[in-house]
Chains A and B, each alone.
Chain A
């Protein structure tokens, strides 16, 4: 993965920068010892590593503002970091950058059940937002699988999704307002406890901008009343085509499950070996979950079973109790971990129109044969967000390169059928150089113009999202 050459000028500023930062931060919030900065050398995309020049851990919005102001004055790049769980390299530093971690900003500032919102500092973890309101019957809906660790700041940066976004939407649909610090240190409030913007929808642009427009220190989030209950049903089919058709038919029938998850045979086998969830060893498996009271769940599942039966399932298993529900989810939730134990893999994140799932699965199979690497499929079928897992051997010379090439072909296929490169992980460094597959130069120019306005010097997370050659003139000018 190519990154720009680090600036010798910036590296030479290190001691001067440390002195200035120590004037605005407590000593323990400035990390400059190379033995300690190494802790920030990568995020969840661990194949690529580079220790930062420094790391800082501010505790207040004012401290974030002070840090950014100093870096802005000294022309030092800043890489914001939530919990470092990005799968796209969104928080990966460069040797000439300061990592700005928001982990110490983790307080709940306000809960308001009448207006159904919570205001938190952005370093708070996703799951602990729900943790703050669940005793009163509420929850925060977006549930990325890293939710135990990932921070709201990172969720906003990447516009994170999750298994249940089919019904509840992704981060941008649940974010009402932010306090954001601009690169020059200006603190600004955008949105709040009300709905929608009175002017341009800047909140919509900030969400998903991968830490390139500002550093969010506080967020107002929509919370929802917890449903009375939920129940999954598991169904197995003897072909991917039929499973894909079944998904489409369920959606057309007017049922809106909270989740429709898909696993193929390769993933089923690995998960079975790992978690013994009792899955049938079939070509394609669906887990469909619906919510409501017991009677409402019965009503919806009856409809779903009707549809499934028309497609001759090899297995149809409804959870009778919490234990059985847990077993149905067990395999799916352990899929990525299980796969990691048997093989090195690369996880893709393209989205395709739901109606194209059968075709795309077939063509992924063909590409897999052509490149000689196995591909497992486990993903959110209801919204077409695929996660093909390409298996490779990290110790075998050349295998990673073949894997990357196959990954690029699969993502091109996603775009070709009307989909996109990334549904929930973000572009980061990982898909940066594929952006032209989806966007023209004019499209990219329009996006980069946004960054020009928010961060004219291109100091915030600069070498991400856009192809390096596309952003080079701006980064070099700054």
Chain B
């Protein structure tokens, strides 16, 4: 089923007889999704407002991410949270949409410095499971008018409502960028090096570890990047000689390309960076990529492994593979009760992506 307007979507949800699978571009089939008719947002497409002087873009949910990035690039701006494209890792086809990025709160390496998709999301319009159109937030950067349903919708994977339009803050594309690389560090030393870099005043906008190398990114105006690269090299000296990278590794880190051809399940794990040092060796991972200074672990593990039995804090989501338990991290009882209460309110008939977030 495809809808081309909010009115049609309201009617479709109001009249729905059974479960629906809400789909943007269909590039990210994660979670334990139950069967149901596909409801595509692809027909809700287009940039509705772009105000470069206010660093704001508003687009319908089904707008391809590539279209938004192209529009922004013309004015020298970008989605600063650099959302991941899942197609390579998951071997999927289709066109990633901005609504699905928001629905999954998808954020890349720069999240560690500028914030996640949720932090850039200024406003949403959505239709809840009863077919009611709801707006929250707006298109300004500071807004505390009423409850923040913008954050609630971001990362709710279409289980509380179907997004029709999103407003996002954007940022200028940096004039210059440099990445420093350290080779041969142990996991512990790599995380320590990234912590040292992120704890320095030099405004690091990426800190990752993949394929035996540790990377730290600096962005900004040319002179400033040169200055900070020199200073940061000093900060990193105890960990070895940091050398400028010729190739930009951030695309690979963002898309987790290192794990694309590695067999097994792939988990996405968010922890305190220093917890990664003890957790990762326990996972029997065949390969792993660290982002966010170690706070984000992408781990390829033997099929059926539940990495969560080694975790006492943080959360993990099964991104690729079938696994045996839930794909999303089980919540403690009081939190699970609130979550269920919200689902009952926003989707009383349980028709929106039922089962996806379990």
Contacts and interface: CB of A to CB of B under 8 A. Distances in A.
A196 interface: yes
Contact of A418 (B140, B220, B274, B295): B140
A383 B223 contact: no
Contacts of A419: 138, 140
A446 B111 CA distance: 29
Given A198-B328, A353-B139, A421 B155 contact: no
Contact of A199 (B134, B149, B335): B335
A228 B54 CA distance: 28
Contacts of A227: 201, 203
Interface stretch (A25-33, A166-174, A396-404): A166-174
A252 interface: yes
A201 B53 contact: no
A172 B151 contact: yes
B29 interface: no
Contact of A202 (B273, B315, B328, B339): B339
B132 interface: yes
Interface in B308-358: 313-317, 328-329, 331-332, 334-335, 338-339, 341-342, 345-346, 357
Given A384-B141, A435-B145, A446-B149, A251 B313 contact: no
A443 B115 contact: no
Contacts of B151: 172, 201, 203-205, 207
B12 interface: no
A356 B228 CA distance: 36
B272 interface: yes
Interface stretch (B20-28, B32-40, B63-71, B171-179): B171-179
B200 interface: yes
A351 B142 contact: yes
Interface string A446-468: 11011111100000000001100
A114 B148 contact: no
A444 B116 CA distance: 26
A137 B329 contact: no
B210 interface: no
Given A115-B272, A194-B270, A431-B145, A300 B314 contact: no
A113 B139 CA distance: 34
Contact of A352 (B140, B144, B296): B140
Interface string A253-275: 11110000000000000000000
Interface residues of A, number: 98
Interface residues of B, number: 87
Given A189-B332, A199-B331, A353-B56, A444 B146 contact: yes
A208 B171 CA distance: 24
Contacts of B150: 204
Contacts of B143: 351, 420, 422-423
A425 interface: yes
Contact of A251 (B53, B118, B223, B332): B53
A195 interface: yes
B357 A199 contact: yes
B107 A200 contact: no
B82 interface: no
Interface string B179-200: 0000000000000100100111
B152 interface: yes
B76 interface: yes
B128 A446 contact: yes
Given A201-B154, A447-B149, A182 B171 contact: no
The 5 closest A-B pairs by CB, nearest first: A204-B151, A198-B315, A254-B172, A453-B341, A423-B142
Interface of B: 51-56, 75-76, 105, 107, 111-112, 115-116, 118-119, 128, 132-136, 138-152, 154-156, 160, 171-175, 192, 195, 198-201, 203, 220-221, 223-224, 227-228, 231, 270-275, 292, 295-296, 313-317, 328-329, 331-332, 334-335, 338-339, 341-342, 345-346, 357
Given A383-B140, A447-B147, 11 more contacts: A137-B201, A170-B142, A198-B331, A201-B154, A201-B156, A208-B144, A293-B224, A354-B53, A383-B141, A453-B338, A454-B338
10 contacts: A114-B274, A172-B148, A194-B295, A199-B335, A201-B118, A248-B54, A299-B223, A351-B140, A355-B53, A424-B142
